[in-house]
Amino acid sequence: MVQCGSVSDPDSLLGFLEGPVGHGLAQVDLPLLAHARDAACHGDYGELVRLDYLSSACRAPFELREAASRIGRQRMEILRSVWSRHFNVPVLDLPCEQAPVVAGVEAHVLGVPKNNAMLAYAHGAFAAVLSAAVKLLRLGQTTVQQLLLECGLSLQSLIQTADKVSLEDLGSFAPLLDTSSMRHERCPARLFLS
């Protein structure tokens, strides 16, 4: 997005965060987290596998799909190796270990209320993009904190939207983000791999 010029300064970065990133959170990740938390609460492991596949299918670019699985695997490993000493962590074999699904399981295991889990997940997503943007746009910490605050002001609205998204309506449309991600997969030099 930076390379093609659609994100070039704090204002366009905020538009990107509130646009494609916020839309993806409200229409895909947060509803998946909520549904996964509910499935884990009911011990419905078949539904968790279905949600995991659905999460993977909602990410067309390979790199985005892999990043969500890599982050999910890391979260699951922490859940198993750290939290299982004090909490009852179910034995799961999720095929993709997508981040929002694992976050839903984690919220159930740790007893985190659904809205709090969604708040933390969305805040983390915004913070991750801003962390990369610091390197790409040479933003100062004050600017980053201002942008994070602006994103934080939209969190309740994102959660309210996500609460209304059924599994049948799950999905996001962000063609510029998808095509930029697909181009990034094949670039000889990349900023990072999640």
Residue pLDDT, tens place only, 63-84: 889 999 999 999 999 999 999 9
Q: Which one has a higher pLDDT value, 168 or 132?
A: 168
Chain-centre distance of CA 181, in angstroms? 15
Percent of the chain whose predicted confidence (pLDDT) is above 90? 75
Predicted TM-score of the model (pTM): 0.90
CA–CA separation, 187 and 184 (whole Å): 5
Q: Is the pLDDT of residue 182 over 60?
A: yes
Q: What is the pLDDT of residue 3?
A: 78
| Cβ neighbours for 136, distance < 8 A, ≥ 6 positions apart | 2, 191
pLDDT in tens, 30-46: 999 999 999 999 999 99
Q: What is the pLDDT of residue 194?
A: 43
Q: Is the pLDDT of residue 187 over 70?
A: no
How confident is the model over 180-191, as a mean pLDDT? 64
Q: What is the mean pLDDT of the chain?
A: 91
Q: Is the pLDDT of residue 143 over 80?
A: yes
CA angle 144, 146, 152 (to 5 degrees): 100
Q: Is the pLDDT of residue 189 over 60?
A: no
Q: Is the pLDDT of residue 130 over 60?
A: yes
pLDDT in tens, 89-102: 999 999 999 999 99
Q: What is the pLDDT of residue 80?
A: 94
Chain-centre distance of CA 54, in angstroms? 14
Q: Is the pLDDT of residue 156 over 80?
A: yes
Return phi, psi of residue 9, to 5°. -155, 175
> Which one is the CATH code of 10-185: 1.20.1250.20, 1.10.1200.10, 3.10.560.10, 1.10.4190.10?
1.10.4190.10
pLDDT in tens, 100-116: 999 999 999 999 999 99
